[in-house]
Amino acid sequence: MTVASRTTESMATRISGPIVTAAGMHAAQMYEVVQVGSLGLVGEVVRLVGDHATIQVYEDTTMIKPGAPILCTGAPLSVWLGPGLVGNIYDGIQRPLPGIQAHSGAWIRRGEKVEPLDTEKLWTFEPLVKPDDVVTGGQVIGKVVETPLVDHLIMVPPEVSGTVRSIVDKGNYKITDMVAVVETAAGPREVTMVQQWPVRVPRPIRQRLRISEPLITGQRIIDTFFPIGKGGAAAIPGGFGTGKTITQHQLAKWSDADIIVFIGCGERGNEMTEVLREFPELKDPRSGRPLMERTILIANTSNMPVAAREVSIYTGITLAEYYRDMGKSVAVFADSTSRWAEALRELAARLEEMPAEEGFPASLPTRLAQFYERGGAVTTLAGERASVSIVGAVSPPGGDFSEPVTQHTRRFIRCFWALDTELANARHYPSIHWLHSYSEYVEDVDLWWKREAADWAELRTEALTLLQREERLQQIVQLVGPDVLPDGQRLILFIAEIMKDGFLAQSAFDENDMYCAPERQVALLRIILTLYRRGRDLIQGGVPLMRIRSLNCVPQIMRAKSAFGNDELEKLDELKQKVMEETEALAKEYIKEGTLLCTPPSK
C-alpha cells in the first residue's frame, strides 16, 4: 500500500517553522505529499511557482536547514480505510498512537512511520457476492466483524465497476490480501479489504436527503429543546471554563450514532487523556458494550505540530464518510474548530498571505464551509440511507460570539448551543443558555417526536415560553424585589426554578441522570408543566402560592431526575398522578372553605 516515491534533485531553500520553500520541484503537484530531510518528515505541497514549491510540514522542522533533500511521492495526503479503524487512536495524519508507543515509547520521534492499520492481523472475511455478479462503486462485496458493535462492510472502491470474476471463500485474511477480482472496462481490478482516499476530497454519494430523524444524545436541553438531526451540523460556542469539552464528551459518549469520531484538535493533552481513560470503561446505553467498540479517536493536542492540527479535521471527516458509505449513522465531534482556525492563521502568516479580520486568512469561511458541508443525510452509492452529523466546539476569546470563527460558523450550521459563563459559574451544567440557543431542525424532527410523544411540540413551546417570561420578570425582580409581584407571576418564577434545577441541569456523574432517554425526558417535562398548569388555575381561584409551594410532590419533582432511571417510567407516571391528586385535594379544601373562585381542570 506504500506509494512509490520519485527521486528528484529538489532541496529546501528556506525554512520558516512548519513552512518549507523548495527549489527543483518542476515535477511536483498541488497537495502532493513529500518527504523532507534525511528523516523523511511528512509534508504537503500548498503552493507552486515555477519550479519552486511551498511545503506545509506536519512534523517539527527543528534542525532542518537549507539544502535538505525533498522527495516527492506522487500522491496526495490520503488515509487508509479498512478494518481496524474502530477503537484506534490516531494523530492528525493517521499515525496510530498505540503503534508508535509500542515502537518508540511515549514520545513520537520525528519521521516516525507506522502503518495506520495492522497489515499482519487476520480478519474473518465473509463474501456477500458471487462470481459473475455485476457490481458498481460503493457496493458491498463482503463483511468483517470489526468489533462486537460494528460489522465492517467491504466495499468496491467508488471508481470501480464491472463483473466479479472471482471472490475468496469465507476465511481469515490480511487487509492487504486480494479478496476479489472485478473485471472492469479497463481490465481486471484486484480488490482488497483496505483502500486509500485523499483527505481533502469528499467521498461520492448518490443523493442528499432531507433530515427526518434526531440524533438522540441523552441530554435533555439538547434533545427536547434544541435537537440536532442525524446528518445535521451544530456548534457549541463558549468562553473558557463553560464546559465545551465536557459537553462534547457527553455527546460522544451517549449519542445514538453507529460510529463516533472524536477529533481533539489543539486542545490540552490532559483533556484527551481523560477521554482515553474514560471511553474504554464506559458502557454503551443501548448495548452495554464498551463505547470504544464504536469510537475512533484523533488526538492532535496543543503541543503537537500546528500543521497537523490543520489537516486533522479532514482526516476525521474522511473516516466518517467511509463508515457513512456502509449505510451507518456517524457523529463527528471536533474540539475545537477555534484551535483549528488558529492553526490556519499561523500557517497563513508564515505563507505571507494577506490577513483578514483578526488576522485570520480570507479563506476562513470557505474552509469552514468545506468541513461542515461534508456532513448530511445521504443516499450512498449502494442505495442505503446514511448520515454524518458534525458538532464543532468554538472557543471565542473572552466568550465574545461576535468574533470571526463563531460568526462564520453560524453561516454553515443550523443548531447553536450557546454556553453561558454565568450558568457555568453557578455550576449549572450543561451550561447551554435556553434563550441564546436555537435549532432549525425542530420542524424536521417533529414527525419522529410525534411518534414517540404526541405532545412533545406543545410541551417544548410551553416550556420555552415560560422561561422567556421568567427572564423578563427577573429584570423587574432585580429592580423592586419579588414580593411586589402577584402570585401568578411569582408562580412563573417558581416553576422556572424547578425546570432549571429539575430538568435543564444534568449531572455527568449521576448514574441515573447522565443519560436520559427521550421517553423519560418528556415524562419529566410533563410533570413540571402539569404542576404549572394546575397551580396557575389554583392561583386564579384564590389559592396562595405559598400553599402550592408546600405541596409534598414539589421536592419529589426536584429529585425525580436522579431518583428514577430510564426503565422506571411507571414511577414518573405515578408522580404525575400524585401532582394531580394533591392539587385537586388543595382545590377541594378551598372549595370547602368557600374561598375558591374556580376549580382546576381534571387533566
Q: 478 and 386 in one domain?
A: no
Give the CATH number for residue 50.
2.40.30.20
pLDDT for position 275: 75
Q: What is the pLDDT of residues 486-500, one digit of tens each?
A: 999 999 999 999 999
Instruction: For residue 172, tell me if it sits in a domain.
Output: yes
pLDDT of residue 588 exceeding 90: no
Residue type (1 letter), 127: P
Q: 478 and 423 in one domain?
A: no
What mean pLDDT comes out for the span 4-17?
76
* Domain extent at residue 153: 119-195
Give the CATH number for residue 567.
1.10.1140.10
Q: 482 and 530 in one domain?
A: yes
Please report, rounded to a whole number, the percentage of residues in the chain having pLDDT higher than 90. Answer: 77
pLDDT of residue 2 exceeding 50: no
pLDDT for position 305: 83
Q: 240 and 180 in one domain?
A: no
Instruction: For residue 583, tell me if it sits in a domain.
Output: yes
Residues 6+ apart with CB under 8 A from 197: 78, 79, 81, 203, 318, 322
Residue 327, by phi and psi: left (phi above 0), alpha (psi -120 to 50) or beta?
left
Ranking 37-51, 94-108, 492-506 by mean pLDDT, the lowest is 94-108
User: Domain boundary at 25, 59, 77, which?
Assistant: 77
Q: 364 and 221 in one domain?
A: yes
What mean pLDDT comes out for the span 27-36?
93
Q: 221 and 188 in one domain?
A: no
CA angle 442, 565, 496 (to 5 degrees): 55
What mean pLDDT comes out for the span 41-65?
93
**Over the Cα atoms of the chain, what is R_g?**
28
Q: 255 and 140 in one domain?
A: no
Instruction: For residue 261, tell me if it sits in a domain.
Output: yes
User: Domain boundary at 132, 164, 195, which?
Assistant: 195
Q: What is the pLDDT of residues 192-235, one digit of tens each?
A: 999 999 999 999 999 999 999 999 999 999 999 999 999 999 99
* C-beta separation of 324 from 289 below 8 A: no
Q: What is the pLDDT of residues 274-331, one digit of tens each?
A: 777 777 777 777 788 888 899 999 988 887 888 888 899 999 999 999 999 999 999 9
Band the pLDDT of 266: cuts 50, 70, 90.
confident
CB atoms within 10 A of CB 598: 12
Count, in order, helices (H) and strands (E) of the chain.
16, 26
Q: What is the pLDDT of residues 367-403, one digit of tens each?
A: 999 999 999 999 999 999 999 999 999 999 888 999 9
Instruction: For residue 323, tell me if it sits in a domain.
Output: yes
pLDDT for position 601: 53
DSSP secondary structure string, 313-368?
A: HHHHHHHHHHHHTTT-EEEEEEETHHHHHHHHHHHHHHTTPPB-GGG-BTTHHHHH
pLDDT for position 133: 95
What separation in angstroms does the CA of 288 have from each of 152, 255, 293, 306?
20, 14, 11, 38
pLDDT of residue 4 exceeding 50: no
Instruction: For residue 162, tell me if it sits in a domain.
Output: yes
CA 224 – CA 357 distance, rounded (Å)? 36
pLDDT of residue 8 exceeding 70: no
456-480 vs 487-499: helix crossing angle, rounded to 10? 120
Residue 9, by phi and psi: left (phi above 0), alpha (psi -120 to 50) or beta?
alpha
Give backbone dihedrals phi and psi of 19, rounded to 5 degrees, phi first.
-100, 125
Q: 223 and 155 in one domain?
A: no
Instruction: For residue 506, tell me if it sits in a domain.
Output: yes
What mean pLDDT comes out for the span 10-21?
93
Instruction: For residue 2, tell me if it sits in a domain.
Output: no
CA 573 – CA 576 distance, rounded (Å)? 5
Instruction: For residue 187, tell me if it sits in a domain.
Output: yes
CA 32 – CA 533 distance, rounded (Å)? 65
Q: 168 and 285 in one domain?
A: no
* C-beta separation of 543 from 587 below 8 A: yes
Element of type H or E holding 300: strand 295-300
DSSP secondary structure string, 39-68?
A: TTEEEEEEEEETTEEEEEESS--TT--TT-
Would you state the cell numbers that stand for residue 433, as one nine-digit string?
443558555
Q: 575 and 467 in one domain?
A: yes
Ranking 61-75, 269-283, 441-455, 540-554 by mean pLDDT, the lowest is 269-283
pLDDT of residue 77 exceeding 80: yes
Strand partners of residue 54: 21, 47
CA 515 – CA 499 distance, rounded (Å)? 18
pLDDT for position 267: 78
* C-beta separation of 279 from 290 below 8 A: yes
Q: 151 and 43 in one domain?
A: no
Would you state the cell numbers that stand for residue 325, as one nine-digit string?
458509505
What separation in angstroms does the CA of 82 have from each of 340, 375, 382?
27, 20, 17
Band the pLDDT of 345: cuts 50, 70, 90.
very high
CA angle 361, 363, 368 (to 5 degrees): 110
Residue type (1 letter), 192: T
Q: 178 and 52 in one domain?
A: no
Q: Whose grid coordinates read 409581584?
A: 485
pLDDT for position 297: 92
CA 207 – CA 196 distance, rounded (Å)? 23
pLDDT for position 1: 41
Band the pLDDT of 593: cuts 50, 70, 90.
low
Give the CATH number for residue 137.
2.40.50.100
Residues 6+ apart with CB under 8 A from 463: 224, 225, 499, 525, 528, 529
Compute the mean pLDDT over every residue in the chain, rounded to the nearest whole number. 92
Band the pLDDT of 257: cuts 50, 70, 90.
very high
Number of compact structural domains in the chain: 4
pLDDT for position 206: 96
What mean pLDDT comes out for the span 521-550?
95
Going by the DSSP 8-state scheme, the letter that residue 294 receives in this structure is G
- Our CA dihedral for 422, 428, 431, 433, rounded to 10 degrees, sits at -70
